[in-house]
Chains A and B, each alone.
Chain A
Amino acid sequence: ETGVTQTPRHLVMGMTNKKSLKCEQHLGHNAMYWYKQSAKKPLELMFVYSLEERVENNSVPSRFSPECPNSSHLFLHLHTLQPEDSALYLCASSQGQGATEAFFGQGTRLTVV
């Protein structure tokens, strides 16, 4: 285990559903990230939170809504998704945004039907 825990591991949802992905880090880090990993594509950065404030939204559609209530938890709220949003969603954390490595969770495999 890397110290970053994501739940659920798998999620199937309809296009009209609302669901949330959860990430928790036990590393004492103060920066957290959401990445999307689609098949045959590189990981794509979605959101960056530093000290619980969103510092970057990488042109992500509004049907994805992040929330960071404290430095240990990060959520990704999902609503009215499209089938092309099916992917592996990865959470990561790092100590600040400085040049130290990011640690990833296991990811949530999302399927939109």
Chain B
Amino acid sequence: GESVGLHLPTLSVQEGDNSIINCAYSNSASDYFIWYKQESGKGPQFIIDIRSNMDKRQGQRVTVLLNKTVKHLSLQIAATQPGDSAVYFCAETFGGQGGKLIFGQGTELSVKP
């Protein structure tokens, strides 16, 4: 079936470095993508989203890149901090169904001080 997947289950970075978390999706009809952060014991927290008519969107310290040609999504975190340690999920949806999300496996980001 169609699913969203992540390339790496874990990622370890040094504090202050930039982090890049990757995601591959399979449904070319997907038109809306979201990155969520989930800390231990908490629900997923919205980080940033992007629509399929864009290829880049920037937030505060985060940037999402969308490459529709290869169905690839990435999340870049600048100057990674210990508070960024969490599991990051990408999610996709289509047909204007923002809450009906298909989630990837998640990447656990560990930030070393």
Contacts and interface: CB of A to CB of B under 8 A. Distances in A.
Interface stretch (A12-20, A65-73, A75-83, A95-103): A95-103
Contacts of A97: 96-100
Interface in A81-101: 90, 92-101
A43 B44 contact: yes
A106 B42 contact: yes
B48 to A, nearest CB: 9
B104 to A, nearest CB: 6
Contacts of B100: 33, 45, 48, 56, 97
Nearest to B51: A99
Contact of B103 (A2, A43, A101, A106): A43
A101 B49 contact: yes
Given A42-B105, A43-B103, A98 B96 contact: yes
Nearest to A91: B43
Contacts of A6: 43
Contacts of A92: 43, 99
Contacts of B36: 104
A14 B93 CA distance: 36
B74 to A, nearest CB: 18
A48 to B, nearest CB: 6
**Looking at B44, B51, B91, B93, which has the most chain A CB atoms within 10 Å of its CB?**
B44
Contact of B99 (A2, A94, A106): A94
Interface of A: 2, 4, 6, 31-33, 41-45, 48, 56, 90, 92-107
14 contacts: A2-B43, A4-B43, A42-B4, A42-B89, A42-B104, A43-B101, A45-B102, A56-B100, A90-B44, A94-B99, A99-B51, A99-B93, A101-B34, A105-B43
